[in-house]
Amino acid sequence: MEAQDSVTLTPIDGNHSTLRIERDSHEWAVPGLVLEYCQKLEDGRFLLLTTDNSPYEEALHVMLITSGKKTYELINIGQPYTPAIFKHALRIDEGCIEFSFSDETRFHATVFDSPRWKISTLLSPSYIKYVSPLSKKSLYVSQL
């Protein structure tokens, strides 16, 4: 976890935490209780993965946080009543990681330099949930 030292996650309740980044006056209320992966990108944005710390009904939250902005992009992975474990995060390139979640299923998370339309956000499997699939995105998750 490359940038974890500059990021803190403090639980608020059973499913959410407050995220703080050093040298940033903003705080974010984000889903998840455990910071599983953190990568600070060259442009100052952060690619973060958190889980709910519930292996019998786990959810993975993939977020793109821009320092200085209150909003963030969010993609949730998981299904109700389905056990899962996050494993093997591997940095492929700047803003691109590969990881496994839920029965060794492999995923790619990719960050683009600027937001773009991706029709595949509407066609994603039911367990990959984009918070607002009809808007331009800089963050994209795909199953390998």
Query: pLDDT tens digits for the chain (144 residues)?
Result: 444 448 999 999 989 999 998 877 789 999 999 999 999 999 989 999 999 998 788 999 999 999 888 889 999 999 888 899 999 899 999 999 999 998 778 999 999 999 988 777 766 778 899 887 778 899 999 998
Total domains present in the chain: 1
DSSP structure string for 114-136: EEE--GGGTSS-TTEEESSTTS-
Range of the structural domain that residue 31 is part of: 4-143
With beta carbons less than 8 A apart as the criterion, state whether 62 and 50 touch. Answer: no
